[in-house]
């Protein structure tokens, strides 16, 4: 027997699918398949709800250009942070366990 979903649950599925499409630049199919199982619906149902919401004009299908630029900027910053994190991990592998302890008359520490 099929489950009954209230309008709030349907709206949440549609919003998450649209967000996944826009934020992660995924195809509609990938977004449906990623979001639907997490919310307890089939990807086909998520597709139907999203298409209906688009027909009804309840979704934003296109991003404003400033939002696209902001997403690109955040992705670059995210990659820089990942690179820095990897560099710090690699550097920590070479540091000695006692390198941060005070070694008496060592002027550096």
Clarify whether residues 15 and 50 are in a common domain. Answer: yes
Q: How many structural domains is the chain composed of?
A: 2
**pLDDT tens digit sequence for 17-63:** 888 888 787 888 888 899 989 989 998 999 999 999 888 887 765 55
Clarify whether residues 18 and 36 are in a common domain. Answer: yes
- pLDDT, residue 101, reads 62
Clarify whether residues 22 and 40 are in a common domain. Answer: yes
- pLDDT, residue 5, reads 84
Model confidence at 85: pLDDT above 60 = yes
Q: For residue 90, what are the CA distances in angstroms to 2, 46, 59, 83, 96?
A: 53, 43, 45, 11, 13
Clarify whether residues 84 and 47 are in a common domain. Answer: no
**pLDDT tens digit sequence for 72-84:** 889 999 999 999 9
11 in any annotated domain: yes
Model confidence at 88: pLDDT above 80 = yes
101 in any annotated domain: no
- pLDDT, residue 1, reads 46
Q: Of 46, 77, 76, 70, nearest to 59 (Cα)? A: 46
Higher pLDDT, 28 or 105: 28
19 in any annotated domain: yes
Clarify whether residues 50 and 74 are in a common domain. Answer: no
**CA 109/CA 100 separation, integer angstroms:** 7
102 in any annotated domain: no
Clarify whether residues 48 and 87 are in a common domain. Answer: no
CATH number of residue 43's parent domain: 1.10.10.10
Domain span holding position 20? 7-55
């Amino acid at each position: 027997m099929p489950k009954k979903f209230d309008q709030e649950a349907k709206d949440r599925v549609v919003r998450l699918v649209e967000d996944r499409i826009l934020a992660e630049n995924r195809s509609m199919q990938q977004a449906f398949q990623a979001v639907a199982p997490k919310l307890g619906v089939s990807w086909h149902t998520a597709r139907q709800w999203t298409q209906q919401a688009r027909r009804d004009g309840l979704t934003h299908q296109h991003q404003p250009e400033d939002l696209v630029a902001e997403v690109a900027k955040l992705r670059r910053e995210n990659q820089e942070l990942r690179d820095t994190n990897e560099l710090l991990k690699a550097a920590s592998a070479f540091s000695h366990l006692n390198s941060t302890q005070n070694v008496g008359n060592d002027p550096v520490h």
